[in-house]
A = this chain, B = another copy of it.
């Protein structure tokens, strides 16, 4: 076994340049799922992936259309019926690039600067998808794959995966697996191998406040009209108390308390206030002082404003009372909250607090529940060993602040737990201008995935 993994690792090291070249090719396709103008790029990306998986040797590689962006499926099932089956999940869509003026390079022209590869999607998560494919390739080109693998690569993660659950329901048998490998989680630092065992869920909203029938002259009408921008600010301001706690009714009712053991384990994380201050550049860290910064990000829910728009926002001055004001808002959820419950809580808050001087409208976008994977799962331990052998360090266990709703969905629909990994770093600027990938970490990640597939063979008895 060790000899086999050694050959695969050598293959990976020898083909490093080809791997990177393939990743760059994938990054050049601007697969922004939220923007209808990139519809054709989504299809191009799916086609690129199918070709890669076919070249890998997958017997079955297929692009499944959905209501919006297709799912790429492929499998390589030659390890025998008793070998574990791993479903590798990934998404090939990326976030929008605005504000595009803040990018130092073209977001879709990947460029290396030192050890960093700058491009939208490099870290989240085309880099992780290519790492997974290349780990399998390294094994297949140097020996035989000790496990069965299936790929499920979707194009709608950044818009809330509206069609993935239906796809999984319709293809339950095709997707049947023992465990899901999801490399959409990240590491804390290049030298801190990390196991993510919990994820926050997401509930996403657009709140619109309407006042007058059209923009008004603020001189002629100022004093008798509740300014919708003012009213929106009042509603948003009221959503937090001065301790940094969300005020929606019942918001914390189903939030699981942290045990003393878990708080102890989480305290090993190097993510203290100073870490976050340096990472973000804020003048001062903020939040509920009853929890450490690492706990607040991993184990506590939030309510976040992602965007504000109202009235005149150009250069200079204009004295209107705007007709409406809009906010994009989302909540990150932790076990045992769920998106439907927060939707109701937000509506209840608005009903109770919105004044009769304005009208409001709340649109709910796709979200997902939080998730939690047992730390002693055999597949998790296979991953722990893989990471520790590559990094020669003990892993740390982390609750991830981000949301990967598919983790909950595969548990519900396919009955499979997920092991979460990924080789993105906190300063990769995911979802922000100048997204990048740390290439040394990425290369180690490919090694770790190779080890993981070999380690998984040993979990057979435990797992089946």
Residues of A within 8 A of B (CB): 34-35, 95-96, 98-99, 102, 124, 158-160, 186, 200, 202, 204, 211-227, 229-230, 232-234, 236-240, 273, 276, 279-288, 293, 296-297, 300, 302, 304-322, 325-328, 330, 332, 355-359, 365-366, 400-403, 426, 429-434
Contact A276 B318 (CB under 8 A): no
Question: What's the number of copies of this chain in the assembled complex?
Answer: 2
Please measure, in the bound complex, the distance between the C-alpha atom of A330 and the C-alpha atom of B223, giving whole angstroms. 12
- Chain B residues with CB under 8 A of A280: 211-213, 216, 221, 224-225
Q: List the 7 closest pairs (A to B, CB-CB), nearest first.
A: A219-B402, A213-B281, A237-B237, A226-B286, A223-B296, A34-B316, A229-B305
> Given contacts A98-B314, A306-B322, are A230 and B240 in contact (CB under 8 A)?
yes
List the B residue with the shortest CB-CB distance to A315: B34
Contact A284 B356 (CB under 8 A): yes
List the B residue with the shortest CB-CB distance to A433: B214
Most chain B C-beta atoms within 10 Å of own C-beta, residue among A204, A239, A297, A307: A307
- Chain B residues with CB under 8 A of A286: 224-226, 355, 357
24 A-B contact pairs sorted by A residue (CB < 8 Å): A34-B314, A34-B315, A96-B312, A159-B317, A160-B317, A212-B280, A215-B433, A218-B306, A222-B302, A223-B293, A223-B302, A223-B332, A225-B285, A225-B287, A226-B282, A227-B304, A230-B304, A234-B237, A282-B357, A283-B358, A306-B321, A306-B322, A308-B310, A320-B432
Contact A230 B236 (CB under 8 A): yes
- Give me 10 other A-B pairs in contact (C-beta within 8 A), A282-B357, A308-B313, A312-B328 excluded: A34-B317, A218-B332, A224-B297, A225-B287, A286-B357, A305-B310, A305-B311, A307-B313, A308-B311, A320-B431
- Chain B residues with CB under 8 A of A276: 221, 224-225
- Chain B residues with CB under 8 A of A160: 317
Most chain B C-beta atoms within 10 Å of own C-beta, residue among A34, A102, A325, A400: A34
Contact A310 B312 (CB under 8 A): no
Contact A356 B431 (CB under 8 A): no
- Chain B residues with CB under 8 A of A99: 215
Contact B317 A220 (CB under 8 A): no
- Chain B residues with CB under 8 A of A314: 34-35, 96, 98
Nearest Cβ on chain B to A58's Cβ, whole angstroms? 31
List the B residue with the shortest CB-CB distance to A213: B281
Please measure, in the bound complex, the distance between the C-alpha atom of A293 and the C-alpha atom of B304, giving whole angstroms. 36
Contact B312 A98 (CB under 8 A): yes
- Chain B residues with CB under 8 A of A95: 318
Please measure, in the bound complex, the distance between the C-alpha atom of A308 and the C-alpha atom of B327, giving whole angstroms. 10
Partner of A218, one of B232, B300, B304: B304
